[in-house]
């Protein structure tokens, strides 16, 4: 069996080489030609998995080592009988830790005790963020319309000092989340309410956010890797990063493990051993998100390079 994978997904080469012919490529080298003879494709969000990539190949199983899967044309995969999987919840704790880092860099414990946080999207990440915020002494409101949980978006806007989004990105249907945070929503918010997007680019209408003047923390950008540099450099953007909220060593290990288990199940293989998890080498000291922000502001055109070579915390 031949497996083509993004070489920057940790642990996969070591786990899969004993059981398959593994071809590890830079994400920009993954193409219809390079995956022609592969039965399995394992990617990150940088790779668009669609008809243009898959048509005429032997791929029958696709895994993305990420929570989100809007980079996969799932309808096409299902039409062609190609099984696909994502890794929901794999890095939920890392995203929660990112939100906590932002809160504790921006506010003192005394301030947080007096603040009201609204959490939009109460899945794996949102649930952890709610527990974290309660631990910090904050008042917590939840909103998840598809699940019928909590308050309306209007109530969140009107009542909360901080609003953090943890939904998937969906373009259509009753509960579409594209530009969920838009001009109308922002007009209903408290004047200085902090907006956090550590979910998916496109959930927040960045132009509307810029026009509103609301302070913000942005990890996921609408047109990555061509990020909105005006928003990045505006003082209203208190903290910013290059889509690495979920980039912890444990989160990456979890995602790789899910991919390996799903692959073994799909092809009827015996359990595949994972290598031992390593030691995190990234910056996790107090103030690390501020240092990431400064790095991005200094090198805004190197978004993908910064992301690819980010040292896992």
- Of 44, 200, 214, 307, which residue is the catalytic one? 200
Q: Is 26 a catalytic residue?
A: no
Decide if 120 contacts 165 (C-beta within 8 A): yes
Q: How many CB atoms lie within 10 A of CB 267?
A: 14
Q: Which of 243, 257, 307, 313 is catalytic?
A: 243
Among residues 100, 105, 155, 224, the one annotated as catalytic is 224
Q: Is 200 part of the annotated catalytic residue set? A: yes
Instruction: Specify whether 224 is catalytic.
Output: yes
Could you give the residue numbers annotated as active site?
A: 200, 224, 243
């Amino acid at each position: 069996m031949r497996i083509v994978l993004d070489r920057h997904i940790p642990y996969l080469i070591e786990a899969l080489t004993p059981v398959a012919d593994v071809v590890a490529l830079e994400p920009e080298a993954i193409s219809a030609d390079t995956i022609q003879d592969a039965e399995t494709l394992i990617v990150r969000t940088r790779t668009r998995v669609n008809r243009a990539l898959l048509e005429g190949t032997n791929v029958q199983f696709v895994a993305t080592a990420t929570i989100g899967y809007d980079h996969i044309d799932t309808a096409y995969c299902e039409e062609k009988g190609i099984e696909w999987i994502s890794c929901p919840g794999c890095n939920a704790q890392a995203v929660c830790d990112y939100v906590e880092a932002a809160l504790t860099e921006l506010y003192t414990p005394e301030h947080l005790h007096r603040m009201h946080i609204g959490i939009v999207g109460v899945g794996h990440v949102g649930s952890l963020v709610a527990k974290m915020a309660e631990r910090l002494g904050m008042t917590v409101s939840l909103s998840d319309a598809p699940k019928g949980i909590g308050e309306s978006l209007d109530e969140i806007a009107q009542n909360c000092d901080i609003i953090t989004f943890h939904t998937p990105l969906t373009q259509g249907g009753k509960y579409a989340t594209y530009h969920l945070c838009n001009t109308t929503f922002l007009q209903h918010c408290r004047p200085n309410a902090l907006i956090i997007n550590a979910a998916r680019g496109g959930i927040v209408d960045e132009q509307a956010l810029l026009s509103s003047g609301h302070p913000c923390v942005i990890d996921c950008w609408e047109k990555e890797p061509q990020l909105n540099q005006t928003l990045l450099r505006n003082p209203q953007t208190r903290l910013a990063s290059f889509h690495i909220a979920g980039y912890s060593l444990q989160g990456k290990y979890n995602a790789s493990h899910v991919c390996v288990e799903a692959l073994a199940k799909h092809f009827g293989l015996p359990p595949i051993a994972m290598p031992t998890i390593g030691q995190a080498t990234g910056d996790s000291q107090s103030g690390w998100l501020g240092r990431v922000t400064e790095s991005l502001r200094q090198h805004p055109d190197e978004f993908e390079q910064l992301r690819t070579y980010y040292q896992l915390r």
